[in-house]
Copies of this chain bind each other. A is one copy, B any other.
Amino acid sequence: MQLLKNILRPSRAKSMGNLYLIPTLISDVNPLEVIPLGTKKVLEETRIYLAENAKSARAFLKKAIPYVQQSSLEVIQIDKHSSESEYYKYLHQCKSGKHIGLMSESGCPAVADPGSQIVLEAHRQGIPVIPLVGPSSILLSLMASGLNGQNYSFIGYLPIDKHDRRRKLKELEAKSLKDKTTFIFIETPYRNLQLVEDIKLTLRPDTLLCIASDITGINQFIKTKKLSEWKTEDFQHIDKQPTIFLIGIS
């Protein structure tokens, strides 16, 4: 492991700990399939974690570093109700040389989750922020979509109201055509089928839609087709599965 020295490089201020941004699994696989040894090495050196969900963070740590005693790990759950002064307090521990790991419930922290406020607080305090490599369903779906990866936008969730949602879809389609932009969005898994229905009813036959479901998992499904070609597809297999939707042009 001597060559794994870059990831753990000491910060310039030798006594300062780092804020490590630690990706977690996005499907039920062996961590070594999707987490590099460099990221694993950091887990072995870190004892304090800030997590979107403490339970899933502990389950991931148990799977990734089973030989490290869970009782030696401090996992603090942070959520949208946490205040700036709490972030300040947690991160202040880095000043005494302790490393802190930030973990999302799934995938990469501070992307499609509220973790960025903590990262910004680390910058304010002058704490080195070290992002680590791991799976991101948004990035993997973009790579695999075949849609334009030189100009793209992630926009989170569409409106829930049917009319607002269809209007939004039309608006995205028009922008996508005009600026050759790929739009990436997500939905609560149990609403996937409803979203697909709205997409089918709203978008033009020649618009490209990529559906990317259970990415890196055993039921991985990633396909891009024109809307007209999707019409006959049965979508039951994406029902309640974590899924990313992308629309664009070729």
Do A33 and B29 touch across chains, with their CB atoms under 8 A apart?
no
Q: In the complex, A108→B34 CA distance in Å?
A: 14
Do B120 and A250 touch across chains, with their CB atoms under 8 A apart?
yes
Q: How many copies does the complex hold?
A: 2
Q: Which of A86-143 contact B (CB under 8 A)?
A: 108-123, 129-131, 133-136, 139-143
Given A133-B133, A155-B151, A218-B9, A116–B33 Cβ distance below 8 Å? no
Interface residues of A (CB under 8 A from B): 3-4, 6-7, 9, 21, 27, 29-30, 32-38, 108-123, 129-131, 133-136, 139-156, 181, 208, 215-218, 220, 222-225, 250
CB distance from A161 to the nearest CB of B (A): 19
Knowing that A6-B33, A152-B153, A153-B154 are A-B contacts, what are 13 other residue pairs whose CB atoms are under 8 Å apart, sorted by A's residue number?
A6-B216, A7-B216, A34-B133, A35-B36, A111-B149, A112-B150, A117-B146, A120-B224, A131-B143, A131-B222, A133-B216, A136-B136, A139-B139
CB distance from A197 to the nearest CB of B (A): 22
Residues in B neighbouring A38, C-beta threshold 8 A: 29-30, 32-34
Residues in B neighbouring A116, C-beta threshold 8 A: 145-150
Do B36 and A108 touch across chains, with their CB atoms under 8 A apart?
no
Which of A121, A134, A144, A181 has the most B CB atoms < 10 Å from its CB? A144
Residues in B neighbouring A208, C-beta threshold 8 A: 120
Do B21 and A4 touch across chains, with their CB atoms under 8 A apart?
no
Given A111-B149, A123-B146, A6–B29 Cβ distance below 8 Å? yes
Do B110 and A129 touch across chains, with their CB atoms under 8 A apart?
no
